[in-house]
């Protein structure tokens, strides 16, 4: 075993997430109000969310040394979200509290007929390159950096460029679907779309393979997740579970895959580890509340 892999295995892998931090405001209602109408709902919950924060919490529970780079607002949600990171062992040095700005929220209305979601970026929209630059030492010391598309794309490009310059592998989870120039996807170690994101973002080449196929890890819900080997797509089945709630499945998968790769696992073992972690998450209710701890996986 080479020297740097031995060192890696002797300490926890260092993972940095540059991304969004949200409070999910979930209203459960039988009836959805029409314009000008007021109705009574059945229940209301405030749940910790945001793809960046979810992935940070999941990676920390799976045993990584995790740093979060992002911003919350200077409101009650902001303080609670920082406390939540601390309770989960996520380092918050890189989390700023933006003055006169609300924290990012997702207003989620769950009814029998459909779900309606309104996201307000709030402080997430103020994660700019100056903020990331300020914490670039954290990025440089990381084994892996994991990013999603819920912060300004300009900041994302800057983050990927730092990773490239410093030779730190970056995993791009291209969610929610947003256009990004090919040079940034080329700079990624892995790209982790779900099937819908992959179909929207990556064209098929003349040989029938999708662009960047050699970096693509595609999550496929109940089918598991796939990767490409010798020009063929290999689908690895998920853990067989009784599905309770799939919220946060993708975030748990991404975090676990990053932990696996940072620990030196090969791609198949990292996907198997991520399928197991995400399977445990879908077996429980809630996004962060369902995310497993390392001891549950073994
Ligand atoms: P979400 O947006 O709901 O978090 P996603 O669309 O990003 O999810 P999915 O492809 O639905 O991601 O699921 C991610 C991973 O979760 C899958 O690759 C698989 O490991 C696990 N998973 C999802 N659904 C199931 C299921 N029904 N049974 C077992 N595992 C599942």
CATH of the domain at 261: 3.40.1190.20
**pLDDT at position 162:** 98
Q: Does 222 count as an annotated binding residue?
A: yes
Q: Could you read off the pLDDT tens digit of each residue along the chain, which spans 298 residues? A: 555 555 555 689 999 999 999 999 999 999 999 999 999 999 999 999 999 999 999 999 999 999 999 999 999 999 999 999 999 999 999 999 999 999 999 999 999 877 899 999 999 999 999 999 999 999 999 999 999 999 999 999 999 999 999 999 999 999 999 999 999 999 999 999 999 999 999 999 999 999 999 999 999 999 999 999 999 999 999 988 888 888 899 999 999 999 999 999 999 999 999 999 999 999 888 789 999 999 998 6
Domains of the chain: total? 1
Per the document, the length of the chain is 298
Residue 297 lies in a domain: no
- Report angle CA 166, 57, 131 to the nearest 5 degrees: 45
Distance CA 264, CA 123 (A): 34
Domain that holds residue 159: 13-33+41-291
**pLDDT at position 6:** 56
Distance in Å, CA 194 to ligand 1 centroid: 8
pTM over 0.90: yes
Give this complex's ipTM: 0.97
**pLDDT at position 8:** 53
Best of 278, 286, 297 for a ligand 1 pocket test (most atoms within 8 Å of beta carbon): 278
Residue 230 lies in a domain: yes
Residue 68 lies in a domain: yes
Q: From residue 28, give the alpha-carbon distance in Å to each of 25, 148, 228, 243.
A: 10, 28, 41, 20
Q: Kindly list the protein residues whose Cβ atom lies closer than 6 A to any atom of ligand 1.
A: 194, 219-222, 224-225, 238-239, 241, 243, 246-251, 253, 275, 278-279, 282
Place of tokens 């529970």: 61
Residue 92 lies in a domain: yes
Q: Does 220 count as an annotated binding residue?
A: yes
């Amino acid at each position: 075993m080479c020297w740097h892999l031995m060192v890696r295995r002797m300490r926890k892998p260092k993972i940095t997430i540059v991304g969004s931090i949200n409070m999910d405001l979930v209203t459960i209602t039988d009836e959805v109000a029409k314009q000008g109408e007021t109705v009574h709902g059945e229940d209301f919950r405030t749940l910790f969310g945001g793809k960046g924060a979810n992935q940070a919490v999941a990676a920390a529970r799976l045993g990584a040394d995790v740093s979060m780079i992002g911003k919350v607002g200077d409101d009650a949600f902001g303080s609670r979200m920082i406390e939540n990171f601390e309770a989960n062992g996520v380092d918050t040095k890189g989390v700023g509290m933006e003055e006169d700005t609300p924290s990012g929220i997702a207003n989620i209305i769950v009814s029998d007929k459909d779900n309606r979601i309104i996201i307000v970026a709030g402080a997430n929209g103020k994660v700019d390159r100056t903020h990331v630059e300020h914490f670039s030492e954290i990025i440089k010391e990381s084994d892996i950096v994991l990013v999603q598309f819920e912060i300004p794309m300009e900041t994302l490009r800057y983050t990927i460029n730092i990773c490239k310059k410093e030779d730190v592998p970056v995993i791009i989870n291209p969610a929610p679907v947003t256009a990004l120039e090919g040079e940034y996807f080329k700079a990624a170690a892995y790209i982790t779309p779900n099937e819908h994101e992959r179909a929207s973002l990556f064209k098929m080449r003349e040989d029938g393979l999708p662009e960047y196929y050699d970096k693509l890890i595609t999550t496929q819900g109940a089918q598991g997740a796939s990767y490409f080997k010798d020009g063929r797509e290999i689908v690895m089945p998920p853990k067989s579970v009784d599905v309770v709630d799939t919220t946060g499945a993708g975030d748990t998968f991404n975090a676990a895959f990053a932990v696996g790769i940072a620990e030196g696992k090969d791609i198949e073992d990292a996907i198997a580890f991520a399928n197991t972690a995400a399977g445990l998450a879908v077996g429980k209710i809630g996004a962060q509340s369902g995310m497993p701890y390392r001891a549950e996986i073994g």
